[in-house]
């Protein structure tokens, strides 16, 4: 295979969870070509954010660059790409706030959060229960918006976390629970960049949590897992869940 198709298949393999990848490979094995209605039905059954567009891009490249290839060939290529990605995935890294032990190499939460934000080129998704006294984080988000990064902030309304980002204005999209006050709260703490790297942990976006509290977290670079995490929060904004609303 040449042209765009190999890269598109590799990207799709990173995006899909194992069960979704296996399901798509079975569908491709049964498909007569890029226009087969089987692929339309598969797309309709898997409406995760952005996934239909990715599969449609694969189908266009298949039609334009390798129309004679059977679906079985694409299924094999998709499987090979997934195996190659798994072999290259780096391990998770430990992240802490507060005291650090000389016996265990770790990264600090404050610096790691900034590194993840600085690494973003297309999208940032940030989730926090509380947020305050984070001028450096806000500065980095302003810079990210300036380079064209789409920024979604998922914040707990009862803590007034959105106030910490007030100076960013329309540079960011802020999401709250749809029916606040409601049972439970938006309690997760997550920063993801470009669907490829994520910081997960116990630390809110506050000065004490980033620097002083005893907090723990991990950095994930498993693109498939990070994509699934990103999709989950975007699903919460959609009509099926109706859990989050734009501020």
DSSP H or E stretch at residue 124: strand 123-128
Whole-number percent of the chain with pLDDT over 70: 90
Name all domains of the chain by residue range, CATH numbers in brackets. Answer: 5-86 (no CATH), 93-246 (3.30.870.10)
Of residues 70, 115, 63, the one with CA closest to residue 93: 115
147 neighbors 121 (Cβ within 8 angstroms): yes
Are the beta carbons of 178 and 157 closer than 8 angstroms? Answer: no
Q: How confident is the model at residue 44 (pLDDT cuts 50, 70, 90)?
A: confident
Q: pLDDT tens digits for 46-94?
A: 766 567 888 889 999 999 998 888 999 999 888 887 665 554 556 788 8
- pTM for the full model? 0.67
* pLDDT per position as a tens digit, 114-138: 999 999 999 999 999 999 999 999 9
Three-state SS for 126? strand
Structure token pair of residue 166: 């007030």
First and final CA of the chain: distance in angstroms?
A: 46
pLDDT of residue 89: 59
pLDDT surpassing 60 at residue 182:
no
Q: What is the per-residue pLDDT for 218?
A: 94
- Determine how β-strand 173-177 pairs with β-strand 244-246: antiparallel
- Predicted pLDDT of residue 143: 96
Cα–Cα nearest to 193, from 244, 136, 144, 242: 144
Phi and psi, residue 104, nearest 5°: -135, 115
Give the angle subtended at the CA of 237 by the CAs of 223 and 156, to the nearest 5°: 95
SS3 at position 68: coil
What per-residue confidence (pLDDT) applies to 47? 67
Residue 139, helix vs strand vs coil: helix
Give the three-state DSSP class for 143.
helix
The span from the CA of 1 to the CA of 115, in Å, is 36
Return d(Cα 104, Cα 218) in angstroms, integer.
Answer: 14
Average pLDDT over residues 192-210: 96
How far apart are alpha carbons 242 and 247 in whole angstroms?
Answer: 14
């Amino acid at each position: 295979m040449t042209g765009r198709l190999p890269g598109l298949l590799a990207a799709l393999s990173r995006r899909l969870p194992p069960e979704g990848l296996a399901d798509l490979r079975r569908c491709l094995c049964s498909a007569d070509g890029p226009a087969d209605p089987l692929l339309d039905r598969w797309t309709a059954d898997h409406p995760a954010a952005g996934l239909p567009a990715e599969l449609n891009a694969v189908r266009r490249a298949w039609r334009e660059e390798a129309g004679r290839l059977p679906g079985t060939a694409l299924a094999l290529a998709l499987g090979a790409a997934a195996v190659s990605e798994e072999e290259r995935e780096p391990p998770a890294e430990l992240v802490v706030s507060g005291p650090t032990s000389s016996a265990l190499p770790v990264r600090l939460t404050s610096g790691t959060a900034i590194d993840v934000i600085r690494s973003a080129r297309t999208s940032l998704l940030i989730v926090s229960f509380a947020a305050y006294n984070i001028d450096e984080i806000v500065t980095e988000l302003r810079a990210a918006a300036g380079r064209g990064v789409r920024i979604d902030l998922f914040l707990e309304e009862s803590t007034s976390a959105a106030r910490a980002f007030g100076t960013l204005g329309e540079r960011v999209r802020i999401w709250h629970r749809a029916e606040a006050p409601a049972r439970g709260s938006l309690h997760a703490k997550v920063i993801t960049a470009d669907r490829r790297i994520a910081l997960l942990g116990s630390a809110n976006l506050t000065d004490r949590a980033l620097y002083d509290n005893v907090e723990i977290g991990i950095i994930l670079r498993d693109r498939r897992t990070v994509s699934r995490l990103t999709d989950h929060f975007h699903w919460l904004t959609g009509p099926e869940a109706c859990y989050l609303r734009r501020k």
